[in-house]
Chain A
Amino acid sequence: MVNLEELKKEARQILKEGKVKYIIGFQRSSNGLLPVPAFIKNPEDVEKLVWDPTCVYNLTLFLRDEKRKKAKEKEPDERPVGIVVKGCDSRAINVLLQEEFIKREDVYVLGISCENTGVLDEKKLAKKLKGKKAKKVEFGAKDDFVVTTEDGKIKIAAQEVLAERCLECKAHFPVVYDVLIGEKTKRNVENPFKSLEKIESLPPKERWKFWKEQIDKCIRCYACRSVCPMCYCDECVADTINFVVTPDTPAEEKAQKIKWLEKSPVSSENFVYHFVRAIHLAGRCIDCGECERVCPLDIPVRFLNKKLEKEAKELFDYEAGFDPDKPSLVSSFKDDDPEDFIR
């Protein structure tokens, strides 16, 4: 069992000692079931920290903002940032380290093991509760969640309401950490790409129909991009206005910028956007599932990334986020990479 007091104690201590600038964690929100990110600077505020199955967010996202903020400061505070991570989030830290986006001394990782469970899928829970509103969800004694509703507490087996990605998770514990809270437990996952099968098994025509329907829905709100800890490029091909345009950029230069894709949310342009995103995340996506969770139109974005994760594993035996010292997927090669598709 993960002991929240242990986390609080550790957090309080590093804040008191001045080891970290602040700690990024989870705190209760005033509205709704899901928590909100907490940025804790004072040791007294540590009491706000929470840890329960509703802590779905990938907080490593804020390391991106922290880096940008730090770059602008004249005399930056060189102390690291404390960050609360789950297993999947810790792999994100590993990828950021691998790409040298952050340095190891910039983060103080408070790792929490998900042990045998994981985090909640809000939609699955709502379905399960049939209209009743959950007020609180806690980890139960053994592989179950205790849900508090208006009518009192009920126990639900974790398997039934776990997020899809947690069911396919390869490591339930942080792979990089300064402090580990909870135990490193192993759970056997028979097929980590099981959810893909239902799309892969479709004939090509049906697959096209499925993806066309899904991608057509996209309104190009870029929520998937905003929430992704790996999408940290300063300039993105998806929005031309982002191409450093200052008041004195001449019209000619602006006109000469290549427009790879239009901004209008039509099918063909949406496809280019989602392809680019998927390819850009190949070998980097650590499957935190945030893109799919934030999508206002329920596009299964995760399945695009998951597919490339699968191919990376099967073709090149590469898994993202386990070894920060290894070269990344597309910046390395083996002499015997498959080439049966080449004439």
Chain B
Amino acid sequence: MAEEFEPKIVAFLCKWCSSAGSDLAGVSRMEYPPNVIPITVMCSGSVSPLYIFSAFNKGADGVLVSGCHPGDCHYIKGNFYARRRIALVKKLLEYVGLEPERFQMSWISAAEGVKYTQVIKDFVQELKPLGPQKKLRRTQ
């Protein structure tokens, strides 16, 4: 029997909200799929598009960028900049034909451990039927 495909997700989590949210999910012993590789960043606005392209290039099946809800940013407006930039990256990736499900963004606050597990669960469910991401992956 063939093993089920387990997608690899790289998640850029804002230190102040989403990362704390994932911590909450952890300490509350909520269960969620182990497919995600969390990378804590100082702000969702500090996520350069290059990180995202690089993640796909190095073999991620999906990339998640998660930050604070609008208005809650620790740096006042970092997530607003992120929202604009990520929208452009998303459009560009879709334009060249990458499946739109592979790149997602979410707002998760430090209190939303449940939402975090739900976002990851949904993301994994969406990625499974797509199979491994081979389009942008480095082949050498």
Mark A residues whose CB is within 8 Å of B: 199-200, 204-212, 215, 237, 260-262, 264, 266-269, 271-272, 275-276, 278-279, 282, 304, 307-308, 311-312, 315-316, 329-331, 333, 335, 337-339, 341-343
Evaluate contact between B96 and A269: CB separation under 8 angstroms.
no
- Size class of the B contact interface (CB-based, 8 Å): 35 or more
Does any Cβ of A come within 8 Å of B30's Cβ? Answer: no
* Also in contact, A207 and B97, with CB within 8 A (given A266-B140, A271-B136, A311-B87): yes
Contacts of A272 in B (CB 8 A): 50, 53-54, 57, 136
Q: How far, in angstroms, from A267 to B81 measured CA to CA in the complex?
A: 30
Does any Cβ of A come within 8 Å of B107's Cβ? Answer: yes
Stretch at the interface among B2-10, B32-40, B98-106: B98-106
Does any Cβ of A come within 8 Å of B138's Cβ? Answer: yes
Evaluate contact between A308 and B97: CB separation under 8 angstroms.
no
Evaluate contact between A208 and B98: CB separation under 8 angstroms.
yes
Contacts of A304 in B (CB 8 A): 92, 95
Cross-interface CB contact of B81 among A206, A269, A307, A330, cutoff 8 Å = A330
Q: How far, in angstroms, from A311 to B135 measured CA to CA in the complex?
A: 23
Evaluate contact between A260 and B50: CB separation under 8 angstroms.
yes
Does any Cβ of A come within 8 Å of B70's Cβ? Answer: yes
Q: How far, in angstroms, from A337 to B70 measured CA to CA in the complex?
A: 11
Q: How far, in angstroms, from A212 to B40 measured CA to CA in the complex?
A: 32
Evaluate contact between B77 and A268: CB separation under 8 angstroms.
no
Mark B residues whose CB is within 8 Å of A: 49-50, 53-54, 57, 70, 77, 80-81, 83-85, 87-99, 104-107, 119, 122, 135-140
* Also in contact, A343 and B97, with CB within 8 A (given A261-B57, A266-B140, A330-B85): no
Cross-interface CB contact of B84 among A207, A211, A260, A330, cutoff 8 Å = A330
Cross-interface CB contact of A343 among B57, B88, B89, B106, cutoff 8 Å = B106
Contacts of A261 in B (CB 8 A): 54, 57
Contacts of B89 in A (CB 8 A): 279
Q: What are 10 A-B residue pairs whose CB atoms fall within 8 Å in the complex?
A: A208-B96, A209-B97, A266-B139, A275-B49, A275-B92, A308-B92, A330-B81, A333-B83, A341-B90, A342-B105
Evaluate contact between A308 and B88: CB separation under 8 angstroms.
yes
Which of A209, A212, A260, A266 has most B Cβ within 10 Å?
A: A260
Contacts of B50 in A (CB 8 A): 237, 260, 272, 276
Evaluate contact between B83 and A279: CB separation under 8 angstroms.
no
Closest Cβ–Cβ distance, residue B67 to chain A (whole Å): 9
